Amino acid sequence: MSRRFAAPLTAVDTVDIADAPAGARVEAVKRITGDDPYLAGHYPDFTIYPGVFTLESVHQAIRHWATERHGPGAVAELATITSISFAAPLLPGDTLRIGCDLTEHDDTPTAVRAKVRCHRGDGALSARMTLELRIDRRDGDDHA
């Protein structure tokens, strides 16, 4: 496994992207396992998928969309968490299902808003968030 950005773990297993009137609909799935990096410390006596990892899962799903939409050199960076809140916890064996509605701004095509709802395999709402992301291009980046 290799990746093009630093990340605590591979936070999505599958990503499906569909066009939508104002942008795109991105759906992703992540199966929670206790073997993933970092989870041994969260917590030692019982494992729970950290809330920020749900944020990471959503971010990685949107990164997939960004490269599909804008090409391999495009990177979706998190600019603002307008709001995020967590409900049902995710434990090993649970499945995280992400549903993400992306809106591209007409005047600034590099800015994207994401309205996201995440559910656990049993249908319980596990998180919702509203994010603003910025599409950066890295093809022309200096190899500093």
Partner 1 sequence: MSEAREKHLDELREIVAEVLEVEPEEITETGSFVEEHEADSLRAIEILARIEKKYKIDIPQSELPRMENLKAVHDVVATQAGWQD
Partner 2 sequence: MTTLEHADIRRILPHRHPVLLVDRVLDLEPGVRIVATKTVTGSEPCYAGLDENLQGSAYAYPSSLLVESFGQTGAVLWLYSAATSGERREGTLIFGSARDVTITGSAYPGDVLRHTVEIDQLIGDNAFMRGETWVGDRRIATLGSVLAVVREELAAGTGS
CB distance 57 to 30 below 8 Å: yes
User: Is 59 tagged catalytic?
Assistant: no
Q: Is 21 in the site for partner 2 (CB under 8 A)?
A: no
Chain residues binding partner 1 by CB under 8 A are 83, 85-87, 125, 130
Q: Using CB under 8 A, which residues numbered 31 to 90 contact partner 2?
A: 37-44, 46, 48, 50-53, 55-56, 59, 75, 77-86, 88-89
35 binds, among partner 2, partner 1, none (CB under 5 to 8 A by kind): none
Residue 125's binding partner among partner 2, partner 1, none (Cβ under 5 to 8 angstroms by kind) is partner 1
Q: Is 91 in the site for partner 2 (CB under 8 A)?
A: yes
Count Cβ atoms below 10 Å from residue 99 Cβ, excluding itself: 16
Active-site positions read: 42
